[in-house]
Amino acid sequence: MLKTLLERFHRRDRLALARLVSMVARGERVEEILAGVGEPASGAASAPRGPARVIAFTGSGGVGKSTLIGKLIEQVRAEGQSVAVLACDPQSPLSGGALLGDRFRMPVRPDDEGVFIRSLAAAGGHGALAEHLADLIRLLEAFGFDVVLIETVGAGQGDTEVRELVDVLVLLLQPETGDDLQWEKAGLLEVADVIALHKADLPGAERIEAQVRATLALGVSAGLSAAPPVTVLRISSRSGEGIKELWQILAARPLRRGRRTSGRDLFRLAQQMLAARFAVAEAAGQSELQQLLAAWQQGEIASTQAALALVNLLISAPFQQV
Ligand SMILES: Nc1nc2c(ncn2[C@@H]2O[C@H](COP(=O)(O)OP(=O)(O)OP(=O)(O)O)[C@@H](O)[C@H]2O)c(=O)[nH]1
Ligand SMILES: [Mg+2]
């Protein structure tokens, strides 16, 4: 019965939490549940807490999201904070295996009450997941977790939605086997708050760092933005390089969730998006862009006019895919 489950939730019963997470993830009785957890009965053990720090990790399959989250759990616990993890698997026949894999990659003591890990199938696509994600975060926050870490499936489109729901979005990239950063991934640079170049123990880490910094430099305009700039750092879950620093950075970022106040923040995002689109189009040798550049270089159009044409080009339909 829901009433009993909610009572157990307020007594900080983790099995009740797990049941409620399943229900919310399925979209079952969500409003009742959220109303129920928001109103602890008088004398209940759960004390009102501050907001959780919600951090999402995105990046292509195998980039090491689960492994890194496992390392960050250690950092968070070392500070005495509690942490919940939502690992969103793309729905696949392998999801059972992925779940076991995540357990393995996020080693925690089974008796550690300060850690809660849950894998969820991203049924119905990323959009559906994002829809329930907001409710799941509220549920975990009501339980009193200090930190919520989310592993997403890293499907570009959905990351923009996830960004709205979390305080910090971390994009993981790894050294590429090819010569260049895969430029379709560069489009993701436009939404990240922190870019972690993972597996820095492998060759090629410097190269990808240089490429990412060059792309981001296009969007940098000192003093224009009140928001903290995008942070880029090299890390390795294997060697431990940069893990502590990453946590310090994540713990220090302002909580962004739900806050939509500063025009400068929005402007920074716009700048970031244009810069990433430009980098992708330039690397791909996009024909309209090349024509525009040629006309400008040959003095056929004035710089201000060319700049406006460039902005128009970057916001036009074909570029929204990048
Ligand atoms: N060299 C190196 N390998 C790593 C590092 N971190 C993780 N790996 C390896 O990368 C592989 C993928 O790691 P996962 O943590 O499962 O990656 P993931 O991004 O969660 O993968 P999916 O959930 O399938 O998208 C595993 O074989 C890890 O052992 C690292 O810092 N260096
Ligand atoms: Mg994983």
Q: What percent of the chain has pLDDT over 90?
A: 45
Q: Is residue 320 scored above 70 in pLDDT? A: no
Range 177-201 average pLDDT: 74
Half-sphere exposure of 7 (CA within 13 A, CB side): 4
Ligand 1 binding pocket includes 67 (Cβ within 6 Å) = yes
pLDDT over 90 at 84, yes or no:
yes
Q: Please indicate, yes or no, whether residues 185 and 272 belong to a single structural domain of this protein.
A: no
pLDDT classification of 266: cutoffs 50, 70, 90: confident
Does residue 122 form part of some domain? yes
- Assess whether the C-beta atom of 66 lies below 6 angstroms from ligand 1: yes
Q: Say if residue 277 is in the same domain as residue 249.
A: no
Distance 67 CA to ligand 1 centre (A): 6
On whether the CB atoms of residues 235 and 221 are closer than 8 A, the answer is no
**For residue range 214-225, what is the model confidence (pLDDT) as tens digits?**
877 765 544 444
Q: How confident is the model at residue 241 (pLDDT cuts 50, 70, 90)?
A: very high
Question: How many Å apart are CA 12 and CA 6, to the nearest integer?
Answer: 10
Residues 179, 308, single domain; the answer is no
* The last residue of a domain, from among 237, 260, 283: 260
Is residue 154 predicted with pLDDT exceeding 90?
no
Residues 76 and 133 in one domain: yes
Residue 38 included in any domain: no
Greatest pairwise CA separation for the chain in angstroms: 76
The winner for highest mean pLDDT among 140-154, 202-216, 300-314 is 300-314
Range of the domain at 297: 264-321
Task: Specify the residue with its C-alpha closest to ligand 1, atom 13.
Answer: 64
pLDDT for residue 55: 97
For ligand 1, whether the C-beta of 254 sits within 6 Å is: no
Which amino acid, residue 133?
L
Question: Which one, of 230, 21, 238, lies nearest residue 120 by Cα?
Answer: 21
Count of domains in the chain?
A: 2
52 and 177 in a common domain: yes
pTM above 0.85, yes or no: no
Which of 13-17, 172-176, 236-240 has the weakest average pLDDT?
172-176
Report d(CA 302, CA 320) in Å as an integer. Answer: 26
User: Does 7 fall in a domain?
Assistant: no
Q: Is the Cβ atom of 201 under 6 angstroms away from ligand 1? A: yes
Q: What is the pLDDT of residue 47?
A: 52
Boundary-marking domain end, from 260, 282, 305:
260
Q: Are residues 207 and 222 in the same domain?
A: yes
Q: Residues 6 or more apart from 232 whose CB is under 8 A from it?
A: 194, 195, 197, 209, 212, 213, 216
Region of residue 162 (phi > 0: left; psi between -120 and 50: alpha; otherwise: beta): alpha
**Does residue 14 lie within any of the structural domains?**
no
CATH number, domain at 247?
3.40.50.300
- Give the residue-averaged pLDDT of 23-47: 77
Would you place residue 70 in the very low, low, confident or very high pLDDT band (cuts 50, 70, 90)?
A: very high
Instruction: Assign residue 312 a region (left: φ > 0; alpha: ψ between -120 and 50; beta: otherwise).
Output: alpha
Tell me the C-alpha distance between 248 and 81, whole Å. Answer: 14
Q: What does the pLDDT read at residue 229?
A: 75
Give domain status of residue 208, yes or no.
yes
| Ligand whose nearest atom lies closest to the CA of 86 | 2
- The pLDDT, as a whole number, for residue 98 is 45
- Indicate whether 239 and 269 sit together in one domain: no
Residues 273 and 254 in one domain: no
- Give the domain-ending residue among 228, 260, 292: 260
Which ligand 1 atom is nearest residue 235's CA?
Answer: 31
Dihedral sign (CA 229, 146, 20, 95): positive
Gyration radius of the chain over CA positions: 22
Instruction: Say if residue 314 is in the same domain as residue 217.
Output: no
What is the per-residue pLDDT for 245? 97
**Are residues 252 and 274 located together in one domain of the fold?**
no
- What average pLDDT does this structure show over 15-24? 94
Mutate to test the pocket of ligand 1, among 57, 60, 67, 150 (most ligand atoms within 8 A of CB): 67
- The answer to whether residue 310 scores a pLDDT higher than 70 is yes
pLDDT for res 219: 58
Using the predicted structure, report yes or no on whether residue 43 has a pLDDT greater than 60.
Answer: no
Rounded Cα–Cα distance for residues 238 and 77 (Å) = 19
pLDDT for 141 beyond 50: yes
Q: Is residue 282 part of a domain?
A: yes
**Could you tell me if residue 224 is inside a domain?**
yes
Q: Which pLDDT band holds residue 79 (cuts at 50, 70, 90)?
A: very high
pLDDT at 136 over 50: yes
3: Cβ contacts below 8 Å, ≥ 6 apart: 36
Tell how many helices (H) and how many strands (E) occur in the chain.
13, 7
pLDDT at 127: 47
Is the same domain home to 221 and 311?
no
Alpha carbon of 239 to ligand 1 centroid (Å): 13
- Rounded to an integer, the average pLDDT of 232-239 is 96
Mean pLDDT taken over the chain: 81
Arithmetic mean of pLDDT, 164-171: 90
The answer to the question of residue 192 being in a domain is yes
Dig out the tokens for 107 from the structure: 């080693």
CA-closest candidate to residue 255, choices 50, 48, 75: 50
164 and 242: one domain?
yes
Element (H, E) at 210: helix 205-217
Higher pLDDT, 269 or 130: 269
Predicted local distance difference test score (pLDDT) of residue 322: 46
